[in-house]
Structures are given as structure tokens and as C-alpha cells.
Amino acid sequence: MRNNIKAEAQKILNQAQNDQHDKFMLLAKLMNMKENLLLQIFKASVYRKLVVWKDLNIQLEEYQSYTVVEKVK
């Protein structure tokens, strides 16, 4: 996967050196690649958090952050 993304980015950068291609279109492609990578990282992080919470048997209904803050004060 990493090599595919790297090859695709390199292909876009090589096209940018050619005057026949629209530079803004190529920039938009790179920005879309970046956004997709960030989205995948975010989704993977959320999924990992949910798996850890399920392993620890933490229920979403039981979580009450305000009670922890009151006990600390």
C-alpha cells in the first residue's frame, strides 16, 4: 500500500515537470491523496480505541466525566 501511494505521488510530481499538464489539477490530486490518508489514519485510530474499550469492557453508557472532575476537586 505504501509503495502504491509513493508511486502515485511520484507519478504526479513527474507530470508536474511537464508544461502540458495543469499544475493546479496536479496539486488538487496531491491534496486529495493527503486528505484520504488523514481520513484513513483517523478511522483506524477510532476503530482501535473502540476495540480497546471493548476489550476492557468499558460501556459508553457508564462513562460520566463530570463525576470524575467533581471527585478531584
Render each residue's pLDDT in the chain as its tens digit; 73 residues.
778 888 888 888 888 888 788 888 888 999 999 999 999 999 988 888 888 877 787 766 655 566 555 555 5
pLDDT score recorded for residue 31: 92
pLDDT score recorded for residue 64: 59
* Alpha-carbon span 48 to 66, nearest angstrom: 25
**Cα torsion at 22, 23, 25, 31 (round to 10°)?**
170
For residue 15, the Cα-to-chain-centroid distance in whole angstroms is: 26
User: Taking the CB of residue 41, how many other CB atoms lie within 10 A of it?
Assistant: 10
* Alpha-carbon span 40 to 42, nearest angstrom: 5
pLDDT score recorded for residue 67: 59
Amino acid present at 22: D
